[in-house]
Structure 1
Amino acid sequence: MKIGIMGTGYVGLVHGAVLSSYGFPVTCMDVDAEKIDRLAAGISPIYEPDLDELLTGGIEAGTLSFTTSAEEVVQSSDVIFIAVGTPAMDDGSANLTYVHEVMHAIGKYANGYKVVVCKSTMPVGTNRSIANYLDGVLKTRNEPFRIDVASNPEFLRQGKAVSDSLSPSRIVIGTENEEAKRMLQTIYAGYMRQHVPFLYTNPETAEMIKYAANSFLGVKISFVNELALLSEKVGANIQDIATGMGLDDRISPHFLQAGPGYGGSCFPKDMQALVGVGQKNGEELYVVRAAVAANEKQKAKMVDKISGVLASNGSLRGKTIAVWGLSFKPETDDIRFAPSYDIISGLVARGAAVKAYCPQGMKQAERAWTDLSGAVAFCESEEDCARNADAIVLMTEWKQFKASGLDSIVKSMRGNVFFDLRNLFADHPRIRLLFDYYSVGSDERRLYSLEEA
């Protein structure tokens, strides 16, 4: 069985590389010729742990290839995965431009029976509209074969995408066609042997599962972040609160870590898209909408928190702030909708000079954040970033930051304020002796003293 992957982003590239490691002949297609040339040479355009090894292994084994030709992929593949981006538009709805381009290419070049699998996150009803379109095209072409369409949403965590692909939490297949179901079962036979849970449902339900899962996690993050803001005012400790909540197995401790807000390519756009689907169908999703608003509030509150400590009049003019971490989470270079962008923008707007360091996110930030060009100085290390700074703002909880030499770092700074927006150092035995330390979700002045530390 030959597999085609349309799109070589975080989802398509990882999915294609993993399937090729199982021995399937996989061809990945992208319109970006330079990107394809680099991929063919084994050079990944994204950072994802273990991905480079998979790419090299697939290329050397001859099971993984790359092309810019949609015609080649469509005509040579039995199963075609649509894994292109569905970015948010200004109104929050999903932009299906790239999906439509792939859909039109499949209708134009199909030369026999195919199974088209929607891997990208798509609004409810997209799967069926693709199926209807392809049926119409084939009738117009007077073709004797058919094309079946299935929904197979991805549940990859960036930074753990390869491991999630190799050992998924579940496989959701939305189709009403037995042949499509059978072919996907053949592709995912290894997961069946791993006893990975499989859920078979209709396309609309499969599409909703993806939006529902991401939105629920986003709601959970916004909930704990609002509790963190309240905890700071009443003298409670959000980490202990989260631990107490998480011990209830109906709640679990996952996604109860307070911070500067959620980001990335999934939660923000998927939650906005789900709100839009609700409005389109006359059903307001108040909880999801409130979580989106709370996330925006959380980022603004972090700017206020930093400004409130460093400046009595709200102006940060003359202050230099070192930002550690730009990617929306560790172990990825993805800076899309990262809280770091909004917080840095807020600090710059108040007059601060910002220095930044991220183990993987700086290249993406330099390329994408053109409006901040000249306002942010990108550094070669966290030590370089902190030098002569008035304060450090830890934005992303990269493991290497935990191992930083804080004793020497504080000596190189002009000030000694440390804003730990991920509570990475909350239990550090000496952090409060070295720095004027601020975490998220606790009133340091009430909970700690230098004598206790």
Structure 2
Amino acid sequence: MKIAVAVAVAGTGYVDLSLAVLLAQHNEVVALDLIQDKVDFLNAKNQPIHDAEIQDFLINRSLNLTATLNKKLVYEGANFVVIATPTDYDPEIHCFNTKSIESVISDALEINPNTTMVIKSTIPVGYIQRIRDKFSIDNILFSPEFLREGRALYDNFYPSRIVVGEQYEHAQVFASLLVEGAIKKDMPFYSLMLPKQRPLSSLLISIWQCVLLILMGWIAIAKAIILKLGKLLRGLVWI
């Protein structure tokens, strides 16, 4: 029998909330927000954002999901802390503003230093290693999201791929949670380690995997365009 994993989600934006709902199907999930109205709204099974699938699941599905303002309640005992806070590009410093991520990391480490933190936010190249050095930790990894605003839960149910920037056990466990919650089960999975942790030959393999990810994205776009053109041409033929 599977033991439910305790997952903390920092935030209730479209990325955070879609992941919270996905994971809450089979695990205990607690979401943290800073606004009481949003917490009350979510606990009343209403969504603070617009996403049809999220609203349907909140109302009609059995989810182990609660929201709170209490940081200790969120982080204490969590096996994973999912961080998807906004990192808007700052034109003045020519870099992504990652202060919100580091604020969550500091709070989580203070309350539960043994948890595994998973960053879903957009971050600059080399950020994970800098954070590991800054906080003297290794229990943090990056897992990029490929979601559309307004269809985020749908995209989590039918992912084009799952990527985790690590090959240790905790990364594999987190990836398995994403697969468990998804409807589509045959998506490609990529587990990539940091360059500092692997020999050059393995690094080249990871670079090739990244190239494949980019190619897969372009192929998916091309297929969608061809499909739309085919429908358009069939319509013209009938006319």
TM-score range normalised by the length of the shorter chain: 0.7 to 0.9
Corresponding residue for 2:127? 126
Cα deviation digits, residues 105-128 of structure 1 (max 9, x gap): 1221115x3211111111111222
Corresponding residue for 2:17? 13
TM-score relative to the length of structure 1: 0.42
Rounded Cα–Cα distance in structure 1 between residues aligned with 2:121 and 2:106: 16
Rounded Cα–Cα distance in structure 1 between residues aligned with 2:50 and 2:193: 34
Cα deviation digits, residues 44-94 of structure 1 (max 9, x gap): 121112111222346xx3500101122222113101111111112134521
Cα deviation digits, residues 100-159 of structure 1 (max 9, x gap): 111111221115x321111111111122222233336xxxxxxxxxx6112111111223
Query: Among 93, 100, 104, which residue is 2:102 paired with?
Result: 100
Matched-pair contact (CA < 8 Å) for 2:20–2:29: yes
The verdict on how the C-alpha distance between 1:47 and 1:198 changes in structure 2, with shifts beyond 3 A counting, is same
AA aligned to 2:53 is D
Matched-pair contact (CA < 8 Å) for 2:12–2:31: yes
Classify the secondary structure of the residue corresponding to 1:127.
Answer: helix
Corresponding residue for 1:2? 6
The verdict on how the C-alpha distance between 1:56 and 1:135 changes in structure 2, with shifts beyond 3 A counting, is farther
Task: Name stretches of at least 5 consecutive residues in structure 2 with no aligned partner.
Answer: 196-205, 227-234
Corresponding residue for 2:229? none
Query: Among 177, 183, 188, which residue is 2:178 paired with?
Result: 188
Corresponding residue for 1:54? 57
Query: Among 153, 163, 167, which residue is 1:162 paired with?
Result: 153
> Which has the greater radius of gyration?
1
The verdict on how the C-alpha distance between 1:251 and 1:20 changes in structure 2, with shifts beyond 3 A counting, is closer
Matched-pair contact (CA < 8 Å) for 2:144–2:163: yes
Q: How many residues align?
A: 215
Corresponding residue for 1:252? 222
The verdict on how the C-alpha distance between 1:55 and 1:203 changes in structure 2, with shifts beyond 3 A counting, is farther
The verdict on how the C-alpha distance between 1:203 and 1:82 changes in structure 2, with shifts beyond 3 A counting, is farther
After superposition, residues 54-453 of structure 1 pair within 5 angstroms as 54-57=57-60, 61=62, 63-91=64-92, 92-110=94-112, 113-135=114-136, 148-176=139-167, 178-190=168-180, 194-203=185-194, 252-254=222-224
Task: Name stretches of at least 5 consecutive residues in structure 1 with no aligned partner.
Answer: 137-146, 221-248, 257-427, 430-452
Instruction: Say what the alpha-carbon RMSD is for the aligned residues.
Output: 3.6
Corresponding residue for 2:39? 36
Rounded Cα–Cα distance in structure 2 between residues aligned with 1:126 and 1:255: 35
Rounded Cα–Cα distance in structure 2 between residues aligned with 1:30 and 1:12: 10
Cα deviation digits, residues 321-365 of structure 1 (max 9, x gap): xxxxxxxxxxxxxxxxxxxxxxxxxxxxxxxxxxxxxxxxxxxxx
Matched-pair contact (CA < 8 Å) for 1:26–1:65: yes
Rounded Cα–Cα distance in structure 2 between residues aligned with 1:66 and 1:251: 36
Cα deviation digits, residues 216-259 of structure 1 (max 9, x gap): 98xx8xxxxxxxxxxxxxxxxxxxxxxxxxxxx79825469xxx
Classify the secondary structure of the residue corresponding to 2:90.
Answer: coil
Matched-pair contact (CA < 8 Å) for 2:162–2:175: no
The verdict on how the C-alpha distance between 1:193 and 1:154 changes in structure 2, with shifts beyond 3 A counting, is closer
Rounded Cα–Cα distance in structure 2 between residues aligned with 1:31 and 1:25: 20
Matched-pair contact (CA < 8 Å) for 2:85–2:100: yes
Classify the secondary structure of the residue corresponding to 1:44.
Answer: coil
The verdict on how the C-alpha distance between 1:254 and 1:103 changes in structure 2, with shifts beyond 3 A counting, is same
Rounded Cα–Cα distance in structure 1 between residues aligned with 2:130 and 2:71: 21
Q: Which has the higher contact order (CA 8 A, sep 6+)?
A: 2
AA aligned to 1:30 is D
Classify the secondary structure of the residue corresponding to 2:136.
Answer: helix
Instruction: Kindly state the Cα deviation for residue 163 of structure 1 after the two structures are TM-superposed.
Output: 1.5
Rounded Cα–Cα distance in structure 2 between residues aligned with 1:74 and 1:99: 14
| Identity of matched residues, % | 24
